Amino acid sequence: MVQRLKAFVLRPGFLLVVYIALALIAAVQLIALGSHVFAMPKSPSEDIMQHQEILNLYIGKHMTDYNNYVIFKYSFFHLLDGKNLYGIYPDEHWDLFKYSPTFAFLMGLLAYLPDIVGLSIWDLLNTLTLFLAIRMLPFSAKTQCLLMLFIGLELLTSLQNAQSNGLMCGLMIAAYGCMERQKAVWATLWLVIATFIKIYGAIGFCLFLFYPDKVKFVLYALFWTMVLAAMPLLVTPLSALIWQYHNWATLLAADASATYGISVAGWLRSWFGISNGRTYVTLVGAVLFLIPLLRYKLYGNAVYRLLILASMLIWVIIFNHKAESPTYIIAVAGVGIWYFTMPAAAWRTTLFWTVFVFTSLGTTDLFPPFIKNSFLIPYTIKAFPCIMVWCMVTVELLLMNARAQLPLAGKRIIADDNIALN
């Protein structure tokens, strides 16, 4: 009976239904909660939105629990009206819009819909993009389903915050999957879209190193960049669009100086009291990420490429000073890819479950509030297991044998393991 149930659960069709249900339930739940009076932060931080003079603008205002979607929706109307996309709009939503003008333009596809419909479609887009991307990984269907189950709780956390992290994660994995299939035109499109959503999506372009026809990749990337960058011209004049891009750059520059997030910098601050040198932490992390790329003789190895993908997904979160709980769907997906790529080992399994318990379950009600408030949150425990995994991924990339192969139990061939390189 147990085996039959396990066989039923570990089917892509069943997981597809589960993922769709998660998206719809999260959307309906957020709509049903309605609005509430704005809650003042307990302790204002360096973040521009938590300066007291700005907080005062929100006193008495009503906000929804799907505030992120509201930000996205109104960005389209601000673009149409020629307003600063990156301004403060206390009568509409809390926080700032931080994505590109292109993203604001594309939100026009949902902006006129009732929130229950638009939010449901938004959550489905995040969910289905991630589902389809995981189906592109070179794992057996069973292993793909295990990975989906492993990241399911983090996906729900992102959906319950109406964020774009499921979409970002899916686009980055899908770019890898398309490159493995020699589909440069699609791989570059997914990466350019990811970059126009969140600028750190550009890290995916490092995957170009592993595949032939690099000139083709570059040309396609330039083409898609120009197309997407110019797309808002359909609804706004060129001078206004240039102004919006300038505003975006200004916001990103200012945003880089605020907060520590659930990140390596936040962990160093909470554990060791290191509150300076955040830029140096990021630089060190960047160097450590790039060093394994020097092993160019491994570019044709499927295990190496998957480990780089895993490293990339974890890196963009743990070294992100703005990382928060809903963004960890990306890092946890990287952890899962690492685990199912490598041979079984007790220490890997221990790390794998440590991530699940403290990163995925640590922010849920399974942990009593006094544990979360006095230990898990103050000491950045959500990040620490992912930091440990990323360190091990880096070590394995530096030490791996050129003959390393995917575990046979989970392997599904999608391309020659030894791609001919230019």
pLDDT number for residue 418:
41
Report d(CA 213, CA 223) in Å as an integer: 16
Report d(CA 176, CA 187) in Å as an integer: 7
For residue 37, count CB atoms less than 10 angstroms from its CB and return exposed for 0-12, middle for 13-18, buried for 19 or more: exposed
> Which CA distances in Å does 164 have to 106, 227, 345?
13, 22, 34
Report d(CA 236, CA 272) in Å as an integer: 49
* pTM of model > 0.85: yes
pLDDT number for residue 406:
83
pLDDT number for residue 420:
39
pLDDT number for residue 8:
79
pLDDT number for residue 322:
85
pLDDT number for residue 422:
34
Q: In terms of Cα–Cα distance, which of 382, 343, 387 is closest to 363? A: 382
pLDDT number for residue 42:
63
pLDDT number for residue 363:
86
Spell out, as residue ranges, where the chain has pLDDT lower than 70: 41-46, 256-258, 408-422
pLDDT number for residue 192:
98
